[in-house]
Structure 1
Amino acid sequence: MNWHAVKAIYMFEINRAIRTIGQSIVSPVLSTSLYFIVFGAAIGSRINQIDGVDYGAFIVPGLIMLQLLTQSISNAAFGIYFPRFAGTIYEVLSAPVSAVEIVLGFVGAAATKSIMIGLIILATATLFVDFEIAHPIWMLLFLVLTGFTFSLLGFIIGIWADGFEQLQLVPLLVVTPLTFLGGTFYSIDMLPDFWRDVSLLNPVLYLVSGFRWAFYEASDVSIFVSLSMTLAFMAIAMTAIWWIFKTGWRIKP
C-alpha cells in the first residue's frame, strides 16, 4: 500500500475544503439551525414527545443524518469530478497508484469532511435542545460508516456525471426526499399501516433509525438490522467502484 500517495490525495482534498470553509461549514449549520427553529419550535409546540423523547431532541439525529448524507455525496462527487473535468485524472491514473489507494484518498477526505460537519451540527444542536447520547460508541460507528458509505456513492456519481448540474441531481432529487420520508422528523409508527410498510422500503430509514437508537434507544427497526443494511450499502458501493476501475468506465478514454 502506497500510503504516501493516499496522503497526497487526501491532503489535497482536505486543503480544498479549508479554502472553502464558509461554504463547507457555515451553510449546513445555518440550514440546520433553521430546521430547529421551524420544526422544533413550530411543530414541537404541537407534538410533545415521540417514543418518550421531546420532539426537538427527537429530530436531532435525523437532521445530522440529513446533512451527513448530502455532504458526503457532494464532497466526494465534486472531488473526483473536477479532476475528470480538468483532465488531471489521467495523471493520477498513470501514476504508480492503485485503484484502492485512489479511492481511499478521495473517499477518505470526503468522509472526513462530512463527519466533521456532522459533529459540528451535533454541537450546534446543543444550543437549541437538551439531549443525551445513550451509546456514544454506536453513534460514532454509524456516523463513520454512513459518511464513508455515502462518500463511496458520491464517488460513483462524480464519475457518472457529465456536468456540474448532474452532481446535484441525485442529492436533490433522490437522497433529500428519501431522507425526509425516512423518519427524519417523525416515527413511522405514526403512519397508517400501508405507508409504514412502504417506508420500510426506504433505505435511508435504516440509517436514521440506527443513528437515533444510539441517542435514545428508540428506533423504528432493530439496531442490528440498521447496521446490516448500512454494511450492505457499503458493500454494493464498493462493488460498483471495483467494476468501474476494472472496466475503466468513464475514467479512461
Structure 2
Amino acid sequence: MNLYAISAIYRFEMARTGRTLFQSIISPVISTSLYFVVFGAAIGSRISEVDGVSYGAFIVPGLIMLSLLTQSLSNASFGIYFPRFTGTIYEVLSAPVSYLEIVIAYVGAAATKSIIVGLIILATAGLFVPLEIQHPLWMLLFLVLTSVTFALFGFIIGIWAGNFEQLQLVPLLIVTPLAFLGGSFYSISMLPPAWQTVTLFNPVVYLISGFRWSFYGMADVGVGVSLAMTLLFLAICIAIVAWIFKTGYRLKS
C-alpha cells in the first residue's frame, strides 16, 4: 500500500476545501440552518411533537443526512471529474499508484469533508433545540458509512459525467428529491398506508431512519434493516467502481 501517494492526493483534495471554504463548509451550513429555521417555524407551529420528540429536534437527523448526501456526492464527483476535465487524470493513472489507492484517497477526502460539515451542522442545531444522542457510536457509524457510500456514488457519477451539466443531473433530479421524500422532515408513519408502502422503495428512507434511531431510539424501519440496506448500497458502489477500473470506462479513452 503506497501510503505516500494516498496522503498526497488526500491532502491535495483537502487543501481545495480551504481554498473554497465558503462553498465547501459555510454555504451548506447556512443552507441547512435556513431549512431548520423555516421548516421548524412553519411546520413546527402545527406539529408540536412526533412520537414524543419536539418537531425541531425531530428534523435535525434528517437535515444532517440531507446535507451529508449532497455534500458527499458533490465533493467526490467534482474531485474526480476535474482531473478528467483538465487531463491530469492520466498523470495519476500512469503513476505507480494502484486503483485502490486512488479510490481511497479521493473517496476518503470527500467523505472527510462531508463528515466535518455534518458535525458542524449538528453543533449548529444544538444552538436551536436541545439534542439527545442515545446511541453515539451508532450515530458515528451511520455518519461514516453514509459519507463513504455516497462519496463512492459521487465518484461513479464523476467518472460517468461527460460535462458539468451531467455532473449535476443525478444529485439535483434524483438524490435530492429522494432525500426530501425519504422522511427528512416527517415520519413515514404519518403517511397513508399506500404511500408508506411506496416510500419503502426509497433507499434514503433506511439511511435517515437508522440515523434518527441513533438520536432518539425511534425509527420508521428496524435499525438492522437500515444498516443492512446501507451496507448493500456500499457493496454495489464498490462493485461498480471495481468494474470501472477493470474496464477503464471513461478513464482510458
What is the TM-score when the length of structure 2 is the normalising length? 0.99
- Which residue of 2 is the match for residue 97 of structure 1? 97
Q: Deviations over 1:154-179 (max 9, x none)?
A: 00000000111211111111011000
Q: Deviations over 1:38-90 (max 9, x none)?
A: 11011101101111110000000000000000000000000000000000000
Partner SS for 1:132: coil
Is structure 2 residue 248 aligned with structure 1 residue 248? yes
Q: Deviations over 1:76-126 (max 9, x none)?
A: 000000000000000000111111000000000000000000000001101
Q: Deviations over 1:107-157 (max 9, x none)?
A: 000000000000000011011111111111000000000000000000000
- Which residue of 1 is the match for residue 124 of structure 2? 124
- Which residue of 1 is the match for residue 165 of structure 2? 165
- Which residue of 2 is the match for residue 41 of structure 1? 41
- Same amino acid, percent of matched pairs: 72
Given residue 207 of structure 1, which amino acid in structure 2 is its aligned partner?
L
- Which residue of 2 is the match for residue 28 of structure 1? 28
- Which residue of 1 is the match for residue 64 of structure 2? 64
- Measure the CA separation in 1 of the matches of 2:194 and 2:142: 28
Given residue 54 of structure 1, which amino acid in structure 2 is its aligned partner?
S
What is the TM-score when the length of structure 1 is the normalising length? 0.99
Please show how residues 1-253 of structure 1 align to structure 2 within 5 Å.
1-253=1-253
- Measure the CA separation in 2 of the matches of 1:54 and 1:174: 29
Partner SS for 1:213: helix
Partner SS for 1:198: helix
Partner SS for 1:59: helix
Q: Which runs of 5+ in 2 are unaligned?
A: none
- Measure the CA separation in 1 of the matches of 2:18 and 2:4: 21
Deviation at 1:21, TM superposition (A): 0.6
Q: Which runs of 5+ in 1 are unaligned?
A: none
Given residue 225 of structure 2, which amino acid in structure 1 is its aligned partner?
V
Partner SS for 1:11: helix
Following TM superposition, where does structure 1 have runs of at least 4 consecutive aligned residues deviating by more than 3 angstroms?
none
- Measure the CA separation in 2 of the matches of 1:166 and 1:14: 24
- Measure the CA separation in 2 of the matches of 1:245 and 1:200: 33
Partner SS for 2:252: coil
- Aligned-CA RMSD value: 0.6
- Measure the CA separation in 2 of the matches of 1:12 and 1:21: 14
Given residue 23 of structure 1, which amino acid in structure 2 is its aligned partner?
Q
